[in-house]
Amino acid sequence: MNREEARKKAKELVSKMTVAEKASQLKFDAPAIDRLGIPAYNWWNEALHGVARAGTATMFPQAIGLAASFDEELMQEVGEVIATEGRAKYNEQSKRGDRDIYKGLTFWAPNVNIFRDPRWGRGHETYGEDPFLTGKLAVPFIKGIQGDGEHMKAAACAKHFAVHSGPEADRHHFDAKASKKDLEETYLPAFEACVKDGKVEAVMGAYNRTNGDPCCAHEVLMKDYLRGRWGFEGHYLSDCWAVRDFHENHHVTRIPEESVKLALEMGCDLNCGCTYQKVMNAYRAGMIDEKVITESCERLFTTRFLLGMFEETEYDNIPFTVVESKEHLDIADRAALESVVMLKNDGVLPLDKNKIKTIGVIGPNADSRVALMGNYHGTSSRYVTILQGIQNAVSEDTRVLYSEGCDLWKENISGLANPFYPDRLSEAQTVADYSDVVVVVLGLDETLEGEEGDTGNQFSSGDKNDLELPMSQRLLLKGVLDRNKPTIVINMSGSAINLELAEERAAAILQVFYPGGMGGKDVAKILFGEVSPSGKLPVTFYGDGKDLPDFADYSMKNRTYRYYEGTAEYPFGYGLTYGNCLAEKIEAEVNTKAGDKDYALVKVTVKNTGKVDTEDVLQVYIKDEDSEFAVRNHSLCGFKRVKLSAGETKEVAINLDRRAFTSVDEDGNRAIFGKNFTLYAGFSQPDDRSKELTGNACATTKISIN
């Protein structure tokens, strides 16, 4: 069913409703209208990295881990699994009359906000700091969810529109001030890609204001950009209880009825929250016209008709048994493997399970289920922690010793001589002394980085105060490293952490993010060399981060790899493999008469000079050498996963979009301002720090546009 047909059916159905009935359908928990055969429907469902909060489902790595894969094909497969399992659950729940929250087909994912500051607690819900990468991964994810059948398989939602990335504690009253240049250059491109390329069915507004106006009633964002320039035809919804913030926190209105009027007239169709309970009050008071209510109701029922909710669909017979099927779990395993980023390896990895007699596994995240999951997660029927993955992988002759070592985080309790001292440090050091090699598993989990209001967030309403590991873990790591055993550090976090101590003294470092329910099994495959690591950092690791701007400053100056003026600890796009892949040559040709998607063709000759077969991620960056409006450093403009056998050479072709050659002026105008460009191709970005860490420079070529 195309949109025009769905819209026609929606108009016909909505025309039969009373004003009160139409108003009732604008709430996320829309009631049934029995006389018209309309069942109740709860719009609120989540699927950030698998169907969430609705029982058992295939659990993929957290979104930031998926981003580390740099794999568009994988993202579409993940979206397809989510939609298939979502349909299977919907089929069973609907026939049992269960239409409660988290039981519908409208999934409020992906989160395409830009992870501009590593202190933001919700950054692990995103695809990282780069708008190009974010758009490229979000679009296939959306297409996977929505499908290409006669009916929409499920509906995706791009959130949180727009300019939203903390501080979490202030989000209900905060005004994010962004220049026109930063809007067009950083904050809006991923949303534009979701709408224009992904045809996303829904967009969710953010809690905060942007440049003075609340994002759920923002004329510039919602009318000028979204429905104007980009041609968005789906429905718009508020973040949960965001419309209430208009009068309670932002103070742009005085009473709920004024908030209802503002939101509806700006095009906010659906209210997650309670304020739209006042729609009829506003209508009876003459504050809003019935046509505004009707228009939003028609948009919402257009989505429901596209999903086939009032007729038989090709998805009605998807059985519940597809949930956590072997096929789906295999995709989750692949995703976890591709998400692991090896930050350091002095040769200790991969471990030889047949030679090592004793492995020490230490740390508060070593046997943690919570650290596997991230937030906005479903329930896995089986969990494999890092400790269990190692225990299951070693030979029968290998002993695995374990110590938790310390708490994940320990409060500074006054009156103690050393309030942060790890209470099991002596046990951890004993384990190290008795081991041939030590694996220390540190990091965070959703109780230390997450969303404002989440139960258990210890700091800053889910944000981080700094980039340091909790003191208890720092002391544990130092205490273990002091035993002078070959030590592998595994960091489980959804954001950049200062790993300077590990970089200085550990033999190897793996960044594994939150790898999913059975992620420990996949991390073990990396440790023991069954699979070569191939993930790349989707964010910059800044070291101690003391040179970062104020968290609440939304200017992009000195933020992310495109604008950073310092030297990164580990750069965006960086990640090692067990092979040694390099780009030997790059050639590029511009065809100004071609379509925007095929504006330039880049051919890169790549080679694996190592002794191990591997996958790696070829990256292409561009720098405008002429324009004063170009970003300070360089920008990712293309990437592709490449399989390379040991010693193999091949040529890889990547098409560049015309947009790659554009810059943005101070008034927010995007155009090709320069004529001379440098293109870089390699398995990292073209900065000195990446070259230092990998030993390989990018191949470069100059290109001109007349």
DSSP labels, 561-606: HHH--S--SB-TT--B-SS-EEEEEEEEEE-TTS-GGGSEEEEEEE
* Res. 217: pLDDT tops 90: yes
Q: Which helix (H) or strand (E) holds 164?
A: none
Residue 267 has a pLDDT of 98
Residue 418 has a pLDDT of 67
- Across the range 513-539, mean pLDDT stands at 98
Out of 71, 239, 269, 333, pick the active-site residue: 239
Q: Mapping DSSP to helix (H, G, I), strand (E, B) and coil, where does residue 667 land?
A: coil
Q: Place 612 in a pLDDT band, splitting at 50, 70 and 90.
A: very high
Q: Place 592 in a pLDDT band, splitting at 50, 70 and 90.
A: confident
Tokens of 173: 């009253």
Which amino acid, one-letter code, is at 404?
A: E
Q: Place 68 in a pLDDT band, splitting at 50, 70 and 90.
A: very high
Strand-by-strand arrangement of the 614-624 sheet: 635-644, 614-624, 676-682, 699-704
Share of the chain above pLDDT 70, in %: 97
pTM here is: 0.97
Residue 597 has a pLDDT of 85
Tokens of 591: 């065809």
Euclidean distance between CA atoms 37 and 312, whole angstroms: 15
Residue 606 has a pLDDT of 98
The per-residue pLDDT for range 424-445, each reduced to its tens digit, is 999 999 999 999 999 999 999 9
Q: Place 419 in a pLDDT band, splitting at 50, 70 and 90.
A: low
* Res. 531: pLDDT tops 90: yes
Architecture label for domain 581-704: Sandwich (2.60)
Residue 84 near residue 318 (C-beta atoms within 8 A)? yes
Residue 598 has a pLDDT of 86
Residue 420 has a pLDDT of 66
**What sign for the dihedral angle of Cα 160, 232, 130, 665?**
negative
Residue 352 has a pLDDT of 95
Share of the chain above pLDDT 90, in %: 94
Percentages of the chain per state (helix, strand, coil), in multiples of 5: 35, 20, 45
Residue 290 has a pLDDT of 98
Task: For domain 3-321, give the fold.
Answer: TIM Barrel (3.20.20)
The per-residue pLDDT for range 678-698, each reduced to its tens digit, is 999 999 999 999 999 999 999
Euclidean distance between CA atoms 462 and 464, whole angstroms: 7
Phi, psi at residue 184, to the nearest 5°?
A: -75, -30
* Res. 170: pLDDT tops 70: yes
Residue 486 has a pLDDT of 98
Residue bearing tokens 């329910």: 517
Residue 406 near residue 421 (C-beta atoms within 8 A)? no
DSSP string covering 453-519, please? Answer: T-TT--SGGG--SSSSPPHHHHHHHHHHHTT---EEEEEE-SS----HHHHHH-SEEEE-----TTH
Residue 104 has a pLDDT of 98
Q: Mapping DSSP to helix (H, G, I), strand (E, B) and coil, where does residue 6 land?
A: helix
**Taking Cα atoms as reference points, which of 327, 335, 341 lies closest to residue 74?**
335
Residue 417 has a pLDDT of 58
- The DSSP code for 640 is E
* Res. 652: pLDDT tops 70: yes
**What sign for the dihedral angle of Cα 682, 683, 689, 694?**
negative
Residue 411 has a pLDDT of 58
Which amino acid, one-letter code, is at 299?
A: R
The per-residue pLDDT for range 443-453, each reduced to its tens digit, is 999 999 999 87
Residue bearing tokens 């999951």: 373
Residue 599 near residue 590 (C-beta atoms within 8 A)? yes
Residue 422 has a pLDDT of 75
Q: Which helix (H) or strand (E) holds 409?
A: none
* Res. 543: pLDDT tops 60: yes
DSSP string covering 258-309, please? Answer: HHHHHHHHHT--BBSSSGGGGHHHHHHTTSS-HHHHHHHHHHHHHHHHHTTT
The per-residue pLDDT for range 287-329, each reduced to its tens digit, is 999 999 999 999 999 999 999 999 999 999 999 999 999 999 9
Mean pLDDT of all residues belonging to the chain: 96
Residue 459 has a pLDDT of 56
- Across the range 528-546, mean pLDDT stands at 98
Beta bridge partners of 29: 42
Does the domain spanning 329-563 belong to CATH 3.40.50.720?
A: no
Beta bridge partners of 604: 586, 652
Euclidean distance between CA atoms 581 and 532, whole angstroms: 12
Q: Place 552 in a pLDDT band, splitting at 50, 70 and 90.
A: very high
Residue 622 near residue 553 (C-beta atoms within 8 A)? no
The per-residue pLDDT for range 349-375, each reduced to its tens digit, is 999 999 999 999 999 999 999 999 999
Phi, psi at residue 132, to the nearest 5°?
A: -65, -50
Poorest-confidence range of 242-256, 448-462, 510-524?
448-462
Residue 222 has a pLDDT of 98
Phi, psi at residue 416, to the nearest 5°?
A: -90, 145
C-alpha count within 13 angstroms, C-beta hemisphere, residue 358: 12
Residue ranges covered by each domain of the chain: 3-321, 329-563, 581-704
Listed in sequence order, the residues at least 6 apart from 689 whose beta carbon sits closer than 8 Å to its beta carbon are 567, 568, 571
The yes-or-no answer on residue 239 being catalytic is yes
Q: Place 454 in a pLDDT band, splitting at 50, 70 and 90.
A: low
- Across the range 16-24, mean pLDDT stands at 98
* Res. 108: pLDDT tops 70: yes
